Chains A and B, each alone.
Chain A
Amino acid sequence: MDPIIAAALGSWSFPLGLVVPVLFTFTVYARGWRQLNAQMPLRFGAWRLAAFAAGLLTLFVALASPLDAFGGLLLQVHMLQHLLLMMVVPPLIWLGAPAAPLLRGLPPGLVKHGVGPFLAWPALRRFGRRLTHPAVCWLAFVVTTWLWHVPALYELTLRAPAWHQLEHICFLCTALLFWWPVIQPWPSTPLWPPWALIPYLLLADIQNTIFSAWFAFSERLIYPTYAAVPRLWGISVLDDQTTAGAIMWVPGSVAFLIPLGWVVVQWLGAPSPRRGLPNATTVALSASGGVHAPWDMLALRIIGPVLRTPYLRRALQTVMLLLAVTVVVDGLSGPQVGPMNLAGVLPWTYWRGLSVIALLVAGNVFCMACPFMLPRDLGRRWLPGRWRFPKPLRSKWLAVGLLLLYLWAYEVFGLWDSPRATAWIIVGYFVAAFVVDGIFRGASFCKYVCPIGQFQFIQSLVSPLQVRVRDADVCRRCTSYDCIRGNAQQRGCELQLFQPKKVGNLDCTFCLDCVQACPHANVGVLAVAPGSDLIADPYRSSVRRLSRRPDVAALALVLVFGAFANAGGMVEPVMRGQRWLAARVDASITLPVTACLLVSLVFVPLLAVALCGWSGRRLSGVREPAGELICRFALSLVPIGLSMWAAHFAFHLLASWRTALPVAQRVLADRGLTLLGEPAWRLSAAAAPDWLLPLQLLVLGVGLLVTLYVDWRIASSYMRRGSAAVGLLMPWASLAVTLYVAGLWIVSQPMQMRGMMMH
């Protein structure tokens, strides 16, 4: 093939803003279609799936193929792109009868409670009927076509991508409207008799002919931009314009005439229009049947058996242990520059980011792969291990203190850039795990001491997976309670979580000991709606009611406000302010940093929750004690806090994800091994990708929405009357919005490039 043609044909792009929605829509459709195909094979044959897929594929081709890349250079290519958007994509999409499959493909609860009220809204239904009236559809299509081809507007779209995208959206939407009465996707009913489609299509074809003739026969250039761009393949600008007119004329007319012929044939031999058909929501919901079992990760063919094997956890722990030992050795013996040392890169850049991603997509994976399991086991073997953990310390208060100490030490000692301190912290962790679990019974270290574990426990309240029983009836009949007591082959839950009464992920290490111990195979890793764990306040095994756990609320608040303080500590204005304060009081930077942390982690949270608790009670008139309200609403802030951690760690991970390679090269080179070559330090110095900020904004926005939703549900559980619930909710929602705005400010500031060779 000619290399120029080959290069032109290779001009594809894969914009995430197109690829993700297209794949998501197809996945939902295919999921719904599969169920409907099983119930109504004639109505939902394979051809419907093929038509819908072809429609989405054509949309992708129109917007991401060379058609898009060359549209600004050749008018004929641009017109071909518009032709696909207006004449090919919409009929294919409607042939897929997408309403029922898309609704069926979504979770039934979302359809019933989320989409359902809108679809049943009489005003919206009236609007829909008016919008899909053939006269409106025809006019919208024709007016949009002509309007966007007015030279001033068309030139604007060639200059500004945002206007170009708006033009494409208008074309696609009005074309979907135009083809609606023609295809009349099931289960909609026609408003006009079938014969009315004959003038509908004929008139559209006539206007298309006039429109195309304007391009084909014009002797002057309609769009001057095409005269300014370089001419390709010797095509003159007027020839290009004429060809564009011909493309609109001939294939455009064919696109109108084929359905016109079909309509005529159908009209001559068809029965009267369908009446009384169910709407798509009814079909989607009625067909969805009874209660669905939640998705179970352990039921997956390959992943399930792998997860169930006891060796998996040991393997993960061994890998993490080896990594921890390597980090300690390099931290103590390697160069004391964070980005050049494994102790500066692996824990602070990779581990933090990856464990937060794991929390968002799965659950508490870190505890599952905990590297401190070996010292804990050794402690239990070598030390007495017979005492119970001291009663006054059997809460989260010790962990709250340790987390505050960690957040303070991180800033004051610059742990991210101090490999030796990082190594000593890990060594300290090993010693603490060895001693605590060597002296005290059970998993005291995990439950009461480990700050990392507490971080994971609290954040996993928002995770989409939970270890819990599959069928409560099976547990009711169970008399052995192996899940907590254990048996000859397998120990029970170390953290004293009794599966039948276990609710949520708090204190669950995802060790899956209960899965292996249960003789009835009744424990799974089940999907839940993220954040749903924060809404209700049932009795939880070994945790009790969260409304009566101020220590858990305090832990949550430290982690929520800590997310903002930790990220805020690395932005330029805050660091400048701290330096200014240090100069004013003639002290080292430790004093202003300590003051900032004290204010942001202790005073502000205390003041904020006290104010929210008091004003919420005043505004709503709720009688429950303020302490209970604070305990429950404090947990509702966990999603916005987790989103801040995620946005912060995503910055480090995405800006320095290549750093491990040069550091590994350096570690080997220091030991005389040049297996991986010389360290490629240039990999360590890179800018964050340009999609990082949008991703951070998206994550923060989702975190805010989940927090607001949880707030609303908690408020509704106390106050039946809507206005009273709003009164109770308002202060907490305001606090969440304030945190969101703080997060927006932080991510939009210049950030210190920690973990990279460009501080």
Chain B
Amino acid sequence: MAERNLCTNAVEVVVAIALLLSAPTARGDGGAVRLRQTEGRFVVTVFTAPTPLRAGPADISVLVQDRDTNEPLLDAEVLIVLTPLDQDGAALRGAATRALATNKLLYAVVMDVPSAGAWDLGVTVRRGHEAATVAGQVTFAAPVPPLLAHWPYLVFPPVAVLVFVVNQWRRSRSSRAS
């Protein structure tokens, strides 16, 4: 029995690591301040990236501070809800965590926004028995075509060809000179 538990625990650890490794990493340390509100005992600041926001993966990070001391609070639960305003569709929900953030004072999550337009952004913060919700509107622009978003990877082959052409030209010049 103990052996089975040990094995099951090991599998759970593997599952957790697998989930962790494959989760998209939020940067959560930059972008624009989208929302800053004081609600209950919390001061909640919401950052978003990229700027401007576009449909597709959006990095949303939240700093939760104590209203009185301004100290960052590190043991809260943060839930993000994005609701489309000018179209039909289900709301997107995501739990922002410090593990996903680069800046470990922030709670971050990457949310895959399916379409451009205005969305209602709601952030619920819970800490012990206290809870607060702040809300605002965000507008997502149309997504950049995937190839355009990764243009440096498309530029390197022609650049390499150009460098090679110059290299061959120099080699032929020097061999002719010698």
Contact = CB atoms under 8 A, between A and B. Distances in A.
B90 interface: no
Given A7-B105, A704-B157, A722-B172, A230 B19 contact: no
B103 A229 contact: no
B98 A7 contact: yes
A69 B170 contact: no
A13 interface: yes
A128 interface: no
Contact of B104 (A11, A228, A677, A704): A11
Given A694-B153, A705-B160, A11 B170 contact: no
Contact of B170 (A121, A657, A722): A121
Contacts of A232: 70, 72, 105
A108 B157 CA distance: 23
B105 A11 contact: yes
Interface string B79-106: 0000000000000000000100111110
A230 B43 CA distance: 9
Interface string A56-89: 0000000000101110110000000000000000
A309 B155 CA distance: 46
Interface stretch (A193-201, A455-463, A601-609, A683-691): A683-691
Nearest to A123: B170
B123 to A, nearest CB: 14
A160 B27 contact: no
Contacts of B11: 661, 665, 676-677, 680
Interface of B: 4, 7-8, 11-12, 14-15, 18-19, 22, 24, 27, 29-30, 32-33, 36, 43, 45, 49-51, 57, 63, 65, 70-72, 74, 98, 101-105, 112, 145-147, 150, 153-154, 156-157, 160-161, 164, 166-168, 170-172, 174
Interface stretch (A92-100, A112-120, A539-547, A553-561): A112-120
A68 B72 CA distance: 18
Contacts of A231: 70
A740 interface: yes
A3 interface: yes
Nearest to B33: A228
Interface in A685-718: 686-687, 689-690, 693-694, 697-698, 701, 704-705, 708-709, 712
Interface in A298-330: none
A694 B15 CA distance: 26
A697 B152 CA distance: 10
A698 B153 contact: yes
A161 B72 contact: no
Contacts of B154: 697, 701, 744
14 contacts: A7-B105, A11-B103, A113-B167, A229-B45, A661-B14, A665-B11, A675-B8, A683-B19, A687-B112, A690-B57, A693-B146, A701-B154, A701-B156, A705-B161
A689 B102 CA distance: 17
Contacts of B12: 677
A442 B122 CA distance: 71
B57 A114 contact: no
Contacts of A520: none
B174 A120 contact: yes
A744 B36 CA distance: 42
A165 to B, nearest CB: 11
Interface string A168-205: 00000000000000000000000000000000000000
A159 B51 CA distance: 7
A114 B167 CA distance: 7
A120 B11 CA distance: 59
A70 B103 contact: yes
A159 B36 CA distance: 17
B146 A748 contact: yes
